[in-house]
Amino acid sequence: MQQQILSAIRAGAYAHVAAQAFGIPPEVLADWLGRGDAGRRGKYTDFAAELRQAEAQARVRAECEAFREQPTLWLRHGPGRERAGVLGWTSPVRSVASDAADPNVWCSPSFLRLVRGCLETLKDRPDIRVALAEQLDQVAASPTASPPRRRAA
């Protein structure tokens, strides 16, 4: 009967449910485990150790399955998660400004690429291209309109 209980635990059942399924009341199981954990050698000690091992085996199986089937869940809640004092896989990554000395967005490579792209797109429309360039010049030259700053990450 003990082997049946251990097999059910390895399959994923809680210890008290597995015991009850084979006719052992939860109180009796608790007594057996208490005797086994008390350190006296004997059948209760061996059973308690085997039960703890069966629980660990079930957990390993469940964790491996979560890792394989739902890696995001495993990263968020499994052993790879971020905990106090322990770096993990799930902390949000903070962006690092490419030019921390100058947070002026007008000078950023991404904004300059955008302007070049706009000008290239408007190559067949010189009137709109000139108007866009004038608007950009006005904004950049305006003493009251400060350029947008990069948001801190």
Q: Distance of CA 89 to CAs 8, 72, 82, Å?
A: 33, 10, 6
73 and 101 co-located in one domain? no
- Cβ neighbour number for residue 18 with a 10 Å cutoff: 22
Using the predicted structure, report yes or no on whether residue 110 has a pLDDT greater than 80. yes
95 pLDDT band (50/70/90 cuts)? low
Better-scored residue on pLDDT, 95 or 78: 78
50 and 10 together in one domain: yes
Q: How far apart are the first and last CA of the chain?
A: 59
Same domain as 111, residue 64: no
Per-residue confidence band for 13, with pLDDT thresholds at 50, 70 and 90: very high
Does 82 map to a domain?
no
Residue range 118-132: mean pLDDT, rounded = 84
Domain-embedded: residue 27 = yes
Same-domain check for residues 54 and 24: yes
Same domain for 8 and 44? yes
72 and 116 both lie in a single domain: no
- Is 84 part of a structural domain of the chain? no
Q: Is residue 53 part of a domain?
A: yes
Asked whether residue 38 is assigned to any structural domain, the reply reads yes
Residue type at 142?
Answer: S
Q: How many domains does the chain have?
A: 2
pTM above 0.75, yes or no: no
Say if 87 falls within a structural domain. no
In a domain, 130, yes or no: yes
One domain for residues 6 and 63: yes
pLDDT of residue 30: 93
The DSSP annotation for 90-152 comes to: -SPPPP--TTTT--BGGGSHHHHHHHHHHHHHTTT-HHHHHHHHHHHHHHHH-SSSPPPBPPP
Tell me, yes or no, whether 16 and 57 share the same domain.
yes
HSE of 129, CA atoms in CB hemisphere, 13 A: 11
Q: Which domain holds residue 99?
A: 93-153
Q: What percent of the chain has pLDDT over 90?
A: 30
Q: Residue 42 is encoded by which pair of tokens? A: 């004997």
117 has a pLDDT exceeding 70: yes
Same domain, yes or no, for 8 and 58? yes
Residues 44-78 have pLDDT tens digits of 899 999 999 999 999 889 888 888 888 888 777 77
